[in-house]
Structure 1
Amino acid sequence: MKHELIRPAAAGLVTALVTALVVPLVTAPAARAASPAPGLTPAAVEAYLDRTMESTGLPGMSVVVTHRGEIVHAGGYGREPDGEPVTERTPMRVASVSKSFTAMAVMTLVDDGRISLDEPVAGRLPEFRMADRRAAGITVRHLLNQTSGLSDTTVDIGATQEAPSLAGYVSALGTGTLAADPGTRGEYCNVNYDVAARLVEVVSGQSFGDYMERRVFGPLGMTGSAVGDRVVRPSEGFNSMYGAWVARREMPGFRDGGGGGVVTNAADMGRWLISQTGDGRRLVTPESLRTMHTPSAVGDYGMGWVEENVDGTRLLVHSGNLFTYTAVEAIVPDTGYGFAVMTNSAALHDDTYDVLTGLVAMSRGGTPDAPGGDRQMFELVLGLVALAAAGLGVLGALRSRRWAARRAGNPAWRVGLRLAPSLLPVALFAVYPWSISFISNGRTVTWEQLTYFAAPLTITLAVAAVAGTVTAATRLARLRSVVSTR
C-alpha cells in the first residue's frame, strides 16, 4: 500500500550506498487446461512451500493455488508474532491487492446501472474539489485504470492519512493538483482507489466496508475477510533486522479505504481467485470481468490488475506491501490457474513474488528451486558494512593525532577537502529519506517509515554517519590542539 515503490527503491540503493560508505571512512480468457499440471499436485505444492519456508526463513506465510473451479491447495506455514501457528484461516493484510476488490465493487455498481465508467467523479462526490480545473474531467474509468493524473507528488498524502473517514480523505485532496491531464498517462497512486471507495459509499448509500461484505465477500463465501481492522488480531507482523525477525505493530495510517484496506486469508483468497478466472460464483458479467483485466490504452494497468509476462506466461498480477505485511496475487488467463502468497512480514527483499513465480513454473510442469537467500545476503552485507564503519570510525579517532600533525600547516580549504570523505556518510544520511522518495517517483518517505522494512539499511547508514562525524570531530579537535601549541 504505502511502500510498494519505497521498498524496491530502498533495496536498489543497497549496493550503491554500501560502496559509498566504506571508502570515505578510510578516506479475455483463452482455452484452459483440462486438469492441473502433473507438477502442481497438492503434495508437490506442499513440498515446495515447506522448502521455501526453510530457505527463506520467513516467519509466517499463507498460500493458495486454484485451478478453474477448484482449490488445489490452501495452507499456512510458520507462526504469528504471538506464537500461534499460521493456517489457511489466519487473517493477513493484503495492502494494494485490495485494489482488485475495490474495482470489483465499482463494477457491480456499473453492472447494476447505478454508475457509468465514463462519467465524471466530481458529479457524484461534492467533496471532490481540487486546486486544478482538470480534476473535473476525471472519470470512474480513469480512477480504476490509474490514469486520472492524481499523483503522490502533487497531493498532500500526509493529510489523507490523518483523515477519519473516506469523506474526510477525499476532502483532504482539496489543495492538490494533477500531474497530467486525465487519461493521458498512467501513474500508480493509492488515492485513485480510495476515491473509488468513497464513490462506492455515495452511490450505494452504505459504508465501503459494509458494501464489500454484502456484494463481494458475502456472495463468494469469504467469511474471514473485511475492510479495516475488523478481523485482525492485536498482534501484527515482523520486520527483518540483520536476518532476525522482530515483531512489530503495523505503522499507523488510513486503512479503511479501497487502496489497501482489505484483510483476508488463504481460504478466502481461493474463492476470490476462482471468481476472477471466470469460474464459480460470478459477481459481474463476463464483459465487465474482461474490462477489469484489460490494460488501459496508456499503460499496463487494468482495473486492479497488471499484465505481466513471466518466462513466456501471461499473468494478471497485483502485489501489496505494508510495513509488516506483504502479498501478491496472480491469475493465468490461458490455463485458469490462480495463486496468492501472503506473509506477515516485510523486509528489503520481497520473497512473495519469488514464491509466486515458482508456483507458476510448477503449473507449467517445471520443477523450480525454492527461493531464498537474497534477504539474508542483503542484510549480511549491510551488517558487515555497519561493523566496518564502526571499526573505521574508532580507527579514525585513534589516528586523529597523527592526521592533525601532518596537516597542521595546511590552509583551511585543504583541511576541508581532507575531511570531506569522512563527512560524506553524514551527507548521505541527511538526504536518505529524500533520496528514497526521489527514486520512488516522488512518494513522500518519512524517517519513521524507514525504521520498518528498511531498518538494516537505516541503521547501517546511521552507524556510518556517526563514525564519520566522530572521525571528523576528533581530527578537528586534534588539529586545533596542535595549532594552538605551536
Structure 2
Amino acid sequence: MKHKLIRLAAAAGLVAALVTAPAALAASPATGLTPAAVDAYLDRTMESTGLPGMSVVVTHKGKVVHAGGYGRQSGGEPVTERTPMRVASVSKSFTAMAVMTLVDDGRISLDEPVAGRLPEFRMADRRAAGITVRQLLNQTSGLSDTTVDIGATRAATSLAGYVSALGTGTLAADPGTRWEYCNVNYDVAARLVEVASGRRFGDYMKQRVFGPLGMTGSAVGDRVVRPSEGFNSVYGAWVARPEMPGFRDGGGGGVVTNAADMGRWLISQTGGGRQLVTPGSLRTMHTPSAVRDYGMGWGEESVGGARMLVHSGNLFTYTAVEAIAPDTGYGFAVMTNGAALYDDTYDVLTGLVAMSRGGTPDVPGGGRQGFELVLGLIALAAAGLGVLGVLRSRRWASRRAGSPAWRIGLRLAPSLLPVALLAVYPLLISFLMNGRTVTWEQLTYFAAPMTITFAVAAVAGVVTAATRLARLRSVGSAR
C-alpha cells in the first residue's frame, strides 16, 4: 500500500539515482507525542516538503491528541482541521464498515455469493458467480483492472450502472486464490450495501457510519461536502487543478472528510468511543486473509519497525493515509490537497509513529523536489540536444550522403527512441503499476513532470531526425 507513485518514477529509470536522505530534527531527547510536539513537527514538515496544504489527526485510545491544518487551499484560505479532504482509497475501510454493520444486522453474510444479491452482477466468466462478500472486501475475488472494462465503469452515473458495466469482463484468477488490489471490489461492495439496505450508498453511510460517530463534515461524493481544487506539482511548483472527472460515488474512493472527523473514526477503529459493529466484526475487518496481509480496507504493514494497520489513498489532486497501532492504541491520519510523483504523506506518518514510540522523527522533505529537479534537467538536456542536432544536421548529412538506407536508419534510431517510449508510455506505466489501467489523461496529473519530460524528448528527437533527413535529401540533390 505504501509503495505508491514515487516507485513509478524510480521504476521507469528516470530518477534512479535520486534518493534524498531526510533532514533530522535538531538532536535532542525525544519530545514524545504531545500536542505541542506534534504541531512543531508538522510545521517543520510543511516547510521541508513544500506541500500546499495538509491536515493531520493523532488519536490515542479514546482521545484526540492533536488535530490541525497547515498550509493553504487553492482559493488562499488556510487549511484547518475542518477543511474537506478527498481521501481516495482510505474510503475502503469505511465501505467495509458499512458492509459489516449489515452483517451484524443479519442482512448480509460474508460468505454468500454476491451474484445472488445483485442481478446486474453478471460477467463473461462463470467463476464470477462464486465471488463472496468476504472475497470482495479481502480483494481476493479475482477481479482485476486488466480483465474488466475500466473505461466503462468510469463513465457510470450510478452504482447499478457501474456493476452492469462489468458484464464483458472476466476474472484474473479463481475467487479466493489470489490477492489483487482493484477498486472494483469495493464499488461492487457499495452496490451490495444499497441493495441490502434499500438506501443509496451515500445515505446509508451518513445514517449508519458517519452520523453515529458524529462525523458531520463527511460524505460520499463531493456534492454534499465539496472540497476546493487540489494541486499538482509541476517541476516543483504547485498548480491548482480540478480533480479529474469520473464516478466518485462508489465505495472504492468516494469519501470526503476532514481531520476532526477522522479523529472520531480512528478512535472507533481502535476500540474506543462509539462502536458501530461488534468487537468480533471489528477484529474480522482488521484480520488479514489467508492469501495476503490485507484485511477489509486495512493492510498490515511495518511502519518504522512497528506493526500497523494502514491504508493509503491517491486521487489525482489529493493524497491521504490512515493507520492504527493495535499494540498501543494510537491512530493517525495524514491528508494533503496535492498529488505528485513523490507522496510525502507516508513519510509524515512514519515520523508521527516514531514520536508515539518515544523516538525522534526525521523531518521528511526533498524527495518530490529531487525527483522533479532530475526530470527538469533531463527535459532541458533533451531540448538542448535537439537544438544541437538541428544545428549540426548539415554536417551529419554530408558525412552520410550515399550511405545505404539501413545504415542511415540505424544512425537515426537513437533520436527516435524517445518517440517509441512516448508511444508506449501509458502501457509502460500500467505495467509498472501491476497492470492497473493508466490513461493519457491521468498522466497529465500526478505524473505531469514525467509526461512533459517524455514529450520534450520525443519532440526533440522528431525535429532532429526530420532536419537530418531534409539535409540529407538536400545534399543528395546537390550531388
Q: Same fold (TM over 0.5)?
A: yes
Q: From 174, 194, 197, give the equivalent of 1:181.
A: 174
Residue 15 of structure 1 corresponds to which residue in structure 2? 13
CA contact (8 A) 1:224 1:231 kept: no
Residue 476 of structure 2 corresponds to which residue in structure 1? 483
Residue 220 of structure 1 corresponds to which residue in structure 2? 213
Deviation digits for residues 299-350 of structure 1 (CA, Å, limit 9, x no counterpart): 1110000000123311000000000000000000000000000000100000
Residue segments in structure 2 that go unaligned for 5+ positions in a row: 18-29
Matched, 1:63 2:56: yes
Q: Within 5 Å, give how 1:430-449 maps onto structure 2.
A: 430-449=423-442
CA contact (8 A) 1:100 1:303 kept: yes
Deviation digits for residues 264-308 of structure 1 (CA, Å, limit 9, x no counterpart): 000000000000001111111111000000000001110000000
Residue 26 of structure 2 corresponds to which residue in structure 1? none
Deviation digits for residues 376-432 of structure 1 (CA, Å, limit 9, x no counterpart): 000111111111111110000000000011111211111111111111111111111
Residue 395 of structure 1 corresponds to which residue in structure 2? 388
In structure 2, give the amino acid aligned to 1:74: A
CA contact (8 A) 1:138 1:182 kept: yes
Q: From 136, 141, 147, give the equivalent of 2:134.
A: 141
Deviation digits for residues 250-274 of structure 1 (CA, Å, limit 9, x no counterpart): 0001100000000000000000000
- Closer, same or farther: CA 476–420 of 1 in aligned 2, 3 Å: same
Distance 1:361 1:406 in 2: 63
Q: From 326, 329, 348, give the equivalent of 2:319.
A: 326
Q: From 266, 277, 280, give the equivalent of 2:259.
A: 266
Distance 1:9 1:368 in 2: 23
Residue 289 of structure 1 corresponds to which residue in structure 2? 282
Matched, 1:425 2:423: no
Query: How many corresponding residue pairs?
Result: 467
In structure 2, give the amino acid aligned to 1:107: M
Moved over 6 A (4+): none
SS state at 1:461 partner: helix
In structure 1, give the amino acid aligned to 2:56: V
Residue 453 of structure 1 corresponds to which residue in structure 2? 446
Q: From 38, 44, 49, give the equivalent of 2:42.
A: 49
How much does 1:440 deviate? 1.4
How much does 1:8 deviate? 4.3
Residue 160 of structure 1 corresponds to which residue in structure 2? 153
SS state at 1:342 partner: strand
CA contact (8 A) 2:62 2:273 kept: yes
Residue 242 of structure 2 corresponds to which residue in structure 1? 249
Q: From 341, 345, 348, give the equivalent of 1:348.
A: 341
How much does 1:484 deviate? 1.2
Deviation digits for residues 134-177 of structure 1 (CA, Å, limit 9, x no counterpart): 01100000000000000000000110111110000000001110
- Closer, same or farther: CA 6–294 of 1 in aligned 2, 3 Å: closer
Distance 2:82 2:316 in 1: 21
In structure 2, give the amino acid aligned to 1:427: A
CA contact (8 A) 2:142 2:180 kept: yes
SS state at 1:318 partner: strand
Q: Within 5 Å, give how 1:309-320 maps onto structure 2.
A: 309-320=302-313
Distance 2:370 2:402 in 1: 46
CA contact (8 A) 2:210 2:218 kept: yes
User: Which of 465-474 and 8-17 deviates more?
Assistant: 8-17
In structure 1, give the amino acid aligned to 2:79: V
Q: Within 5 Å, give how 1:222-237 maps onto structure 2.
A: 222-233=215-226, 235-237=228-230
Q: From 449, 467, 473, give the equivalent of 2:466.
A: 473
SS state at 1:173 partner: coil
Distance 1:170 1:233 in 2: 26
Distance 2:456 2:4 in 1: 22
Distance 1:48 1:164 in 2: 42
CA contact (8 A) 2:229 2:240 kept: yes
Distance 2:362 2:111 in 1: 46
In structure 1, give the amino acid aligned to 2:313: G
CA contact (8 A) 2:339 2:446 kept: yes
User: TM-score when scaled to structure 1?
Assistant: 0.94
Residue 24 of structure 2 corresponds to which residue in structure 1? none
Deviation digits for residues 225-245 of structure 1 (CA, Å, limit 9, x no counterpart): 000013444631000010000
User: TM-score when scaled to structure 2?
Assistant: 0.95
In structure 1, give the amino acid aligned to 2:223: R
CA contact (8 A) 2:14 2:375 kept: no
Residue 28 of structure 1 corresponds to which residue in structure 2? none
| RMSD, aligned α-carbons | 1.5
How much does 1:370 deviate? 1.0
SS state at 1:309 partner: strand
In structure 1, give the amino acid aligned to 2:10: G
Distance 1:18 1:297 in 2: 35
Residue 169 of structure 1 corresponds to which residue in structure 2? 162
Distance 1:83 1:180 in 2: 48
Q: From 328, 331, 335, give the equivalent of 1:338.
A: 331
Identity, % of aligned positions: 86
SS state at 2:373 partner: helix
CA contact (8 A) 2:135 2:176 kept: yes
Residue 271 of structure 2 corresponds to which residue in structure 1? 278
CA contact (8 A) 2:398 2:472 kept: yes
SS state at 1:238 partner: strand
CA contact (8 A) 2:4 2:343 kept: no
Deviation digits for residues 172-220 of structure 1 (CA, Å, limit 9, x no counterpart): 0011100000001110100000000000000000000000001100000
SS state at 2:362 partner: coil
Matched, 1:190 2:188: no
Distance 1:17 1:433 in 2: 18
Matched, 1:106 2:99: yes
In structure 2, give the amino acid aligned to 1:102: T
Distance 1:204 1:220 in 2: 19
Residue 367 of structure 1 corresponds to which residue in structure 2? 360
Distance 2:47 2:292 in 1: 38
Residue 21 of structure 2 corresponds to which residue in structure 1? none
Residue segments in structure 1 that go unaligned for 5+ positions in a row: 20-36
